[in-house]
Amino acid sequence: MKKTMISLVGGGGKTTTMFYIGKYFAKKGERVIITTSTHIIKPDNYLEINAAKELREFEFGTEPLVIGVDEGKKLSSIDLKELNRLRLYSDIVLVEADGAKGFPIKLPREGEPVIPRNTNICVICMGIDAVGKKISEKCFRYERAKEIFGWDEDHILSEEDAARILTDKRAEFKGINNRKTLFIINKADTKEDMRKALETEKYINIFCKENGFKNFKVSITSYNNNREFGDFEFLA
């Protein structure tokens, strides 16, 4: 497998997906690093470093190595220049590059997301539980919707709306810059959720085609209903 940096952005599900992917590849014998360019919840085991070269002699095991700066309950990013160099000492670097405070979908503000320049694959996450609800209830930084889409706080998100958020360069597609992209629609726990997810996938395909973007895939997951992420070949 070529050296890969995968950045995860968007709404809820990023951390779960990141660790799920990381553990899969680590068990396959890949040297996997999990880190953040913003903040993540601090796991039990992690390593603080100042420079990527400190990993030159590190012996990777069958679990991902989590790297960050201890800030109490969370880990924050190491220096971004050093973060970009992590790829020199590993096979796969997974970066949580966005925050959503647990909301299933989000609209980024200025300076978001923080996608490292060495990223060659992006993963855009959303929870299907956003669909059918007021944007003010389910979207992080929903106030930006008025400026971008003309929606007020009482706007009910449809499947088409969710797909627009995921594929608009002012929204969750911001900073992707034609990188290979995986859209993950999670929390498809019921038949109705699955119907909504498939409808959202349909509109993602339509909007990506309209935008001339071809290097993408849509994955629908449910960790509560034995529909775990399985598109590992797309990330290889």
- CATH number for the domain including 40? 3.40.50
Residue 45 resides in a domain:
yes
The span from the CA of 103 to the CA of 106, in Å, is 7
| pLDDT tens per residue across span 148-204 | 999 999 999 999 999 999 999 999 999 999 999 999 999 999 999 999 999 999 999
Q: What is the pLDDT of residue 228?
A: 83
Whether 20 is in a domain gets the answer: yes
Q: Is residue 117 situated within a structural domain? A: yes
Residue 236 within any structural domain of the chain:
no
In this predicted structure, what is the pLDDT of residue 91? 97
User: Which structural domain, as residue segments, surrounds residue 161?
Assistant: 4-229
- Taking residues 41-65, what's their average pLDDT? 95
Domain contains 140: yes
pLDDT beyond 90 at 226 = no
> How many domains does the chain contain in total?
1
Burial 98-131 (b: 16+ CB within 10 A, else e): bbbeebbbbbbeeebbbbbebbebbbbbbbbbbb
pTM for the structure as a whole: 0.96
- Look at residue 235 and tell me if it is in a domain: no
Q: What is the pLDDT of residues 91-144, one digit of tens each?
A: 999 999 999 999 999 999 999 999 999 999 999 999 999 999 999 999 999 999
Q: Which of 99, 5, 97, 14 minimizes the C-alpha distance to 52?
A: 5
Residue 114 lies in a domain: yes
- Contact, 122 vs 176, CB < 8 A? yes
Handedness of CA 217, 180, 160, 172 (dihedral sign): positive
CA 44 to chain centre: 22
Task: Please check the confidence at residue 65 and state whether its pLDDT lies above 90.
Answer: yes
Q: Is residue 234 part of a domain?
A: no
Instruction: Tell me what percent of the residues of the chain surpass a pLDDT of 70.
Output: 100
Q: Which pLDDT value is given to residue 12? A: 84
Split at pLDDT 50, 70, 90, the class of 47 is very high
**Average confidence (pLDDT) over 43-64:** 95
